[in-house]
Chains A and B, each alone.
Chain A
Amino acid sequence: MIPQEIWIWVGAILTLFIFSFLYGDNPFYRFAEHLYVGVSVGYTIAITWHNFFYPDLVVPLFKQGNLFYLIPFLLGILYFSIFFPKISWLIRIPMGFVLGYSSGVAIPAILQANIIKQMQGTFLTPDLLKRPDLILWGIVSLIGVVATVIYFFFSREQKGLTKGMANLGIIFLMIGFGASFGYTVMARVSLLLGRLQFLLRDWLGVIK
């Protein structure tokens, strides 16, 4: 078995290869980038086989003889018909099945979670009105949502009250973008910090 320290060295060297892009594009960076993509694909294939394909299809179908599993097996095989022009139309069968299933499942779920529940969350409900700590933000949210939606209402010329509300909507949008940008900065710095922690702690051992 290869000792763990070797993998720390491999990780550290590959990290430095990737960091070398800060100076400019170079073969070391490209090597590490291609290696990452290759390893990810190989890893995905191995996990899919061991965690799904073998226990959930090969074992029940070929070892236990459960013929029900022939249906998903054949549907899966039909995906490969794309490589044979004469029968490539067969791919429509599994694609149709997957698209039909996905749409049927997704539409009501997304509608419920992302539209109905979100609208409910914007309303000033009696429960919210009882909470002095939440009521201010409840009102701000309601005004913000209405103003932003008005900004995106293009079916009529915006003038008078709608123009004012649309301008208010822009302010809310800008605050939202600012928050997203601030969080993005934090995320990117965090990624750098994570790698530096690995280099200084796990590899070089200069911090504890």
Chain B
Amino acid sequence: MSFWEKLGKIDRKIIFLLMAVVIIIPLLSPLNLVGKVGRRTQELFRAIDNLPENSYLLITIDFDPQSMPELYPMYLAILRHAFAKNLRVIVTGLWVTGVGLGEDGLKTVAPEYNKVYGRDYVFLGWKPGITAVVLGMGRSMKETFPTDYYGTSYDSLPIFTKDITYRDIPFMVSLSAGVPGYETWIAYAQSRFGIRIGAGVTAVSAADAYPYLQSGQLTGLLGGMKAAAEYEFLNEKAGFTKAFKPASQLMDSQSLAHLVIMILVIIGNISYFALRRKR
């Protein structure tokens, strides 16, 4: 077997091992590589930053634990930003398996800012029906969610001074790992009721979201863990938090892993073309 043939047939277990080493080393000994904050992340940050104090911010947990490494850090960062700006935060979601993550994020971040449940933020949980829920919130939040996640009636929650609709919510963010997700909110909440929407998506679906930026349907976009790290950086730079930054910690490993993958793709191509020429 020639050198090129050997190169093209590296055992995948060796590649896994190489990846593991490349990823773990920067975790143990950070390289502090410098990244640049993308324009789309800045747009989303500005959209939330410019909201007047006490405005409602709707955050929807349209993901489940499978996408947690990418979307959960975004959720924490947006919550920190919202609480630092004294916004009234409403959290709900279209994915039943995301309910626990939605609750967990609020329980983690709210105490850092001394926020009170029911007054400063509320967790509405999940309802089946997707389109019925999204459209229902445009007509009456109270009818769609007569109680919050914990069974407290809508009228007993001081955060709601009246029966609100999308007209009372100047901005929302969908943290989305697929369908239903930001596209659902655009189709039903925005096209019908005109709410401004920002999105945080998994890297896999980030390329699909760009056309919605071009058309102005999305205001800002966080694509994958890199964007989560960028948002954490902006939060810290603005002095909103000094909390642990889970996405930022992983960016050195992410960069090195990409480098190794690029090298492997190039080696694979060289091997392929060398063997083809031989034949």
Known contacts A22-B13, A56-B127, A183-B223; is-contact A189 B254 (Cβ 8 Å): yes
A69 contact set on B, CB distance < 8 A? none
Q: Among B66, B99, B224, B257, which residue has its beta carbon within 8 angstroms of that of A47?
A: B99
Smallest beta-carbon distance B43→chain A, Å: 13
Partner of B13, one of A23, A52, A114, A121: A23
User: Which one of B22-30, B77-85, B162-170 is at the interface?
Assistant: B22-30
User: Quick check: A113 and B126 within 8 Å, CB to CB?
Assistant: no
- Does B202 interact with chain A (Cβ within 8 Å)? yes
The reply to whether B216 and A121 form a contact with Cβ atoms under 8 Å apart is yes
A88 within 8 A of B: no
Task: Pick the interface stretch among A78-86, A151-159, A193-201.
Answer: A193-201
Secondary structure call for the A interface: helix
- Bound Cα distance from A113 to B188, whole angstroms: 8
Contact string against B for A residues 130-166, beta-carbon threshold 8 Å, 1 for contact and 0 otherwise: 0000000000010000000000000000000000000
- Nearest CB on A from B13, distance (A): 7
In the complex, are the beta carbons of A196 and B225 less than 8 A apart?
no
* Number of A-B contacts defined by CB within 8 Å: 139
Identify the closest chain A residue to B73 (Cβ): A194
Q: A141 — nearest CB in chain B belongs to which residue?
A: B214
Nearest CB in chain A: distance from B253 CB, A: 6
- Cβ contact within 8 Å between A121 and B186: no
Whether A52 pairs with B127 at a CB distance below 8 angstroms is yes
- B173 on the A face (CB < 8 A): no
B residues in contact with A112, CB < 8 Å: 187, 191
Does A74 make an interface contact (CB < 8 A)?
no
Instruction: Provide the bound-state CA to CA distance between A44 and B246, in Å.
Output: 28
Chain A: interface size category:
35 or more
Residues of B within 8 A of A189 (CB): 23, 253-254, 257-258, 261
Contact assessment for B96 and A193 in the assembled complex, using a CB-CB cutoff below 8 Å: no
Majority-rule SS of B interface residues: helix
Interchain CB contact (< 8 A) of A194 among B16, B69, B208, B215: B69
Q: Give min CB distance, A18 to chain B, whole Å.
A: 11
Bound: A51/B99 CA distance, A? 10
Q: B27 contacts which chain A residues (CB < 8 A)? A: 196-197, 200, 207
Once bound together, how far apart are the Cα atoms of A56 and B144, in whole Å? 9
Do A117 and B191 touch (CB < 8 A)?
A: yes
Q: Which of B46-54, B55-63, B145-153 forms part of the interface with chain A?
A: B145-153
A39 to B109, CA, bound (A): 27
Residues of A1-51 whose CB lies within 8 A of B? 22-23, 40, 43-44, 47-48, 51
List, in ascending order, chain B residues with CB within 8 A of A187's CB.
70, 202-204, 224
Given contacts A183-B203, A194-B69, A207-B28, 14 further A-B contacts (CB under 8 A): A43-B100, A52-B126, A52-B128, A109-B192, A114-B187, A122-B214, A179-B207, A183-B204, A183-B205, A183-B223, A191-B66, A194-B70, A196-B27, A206-B28
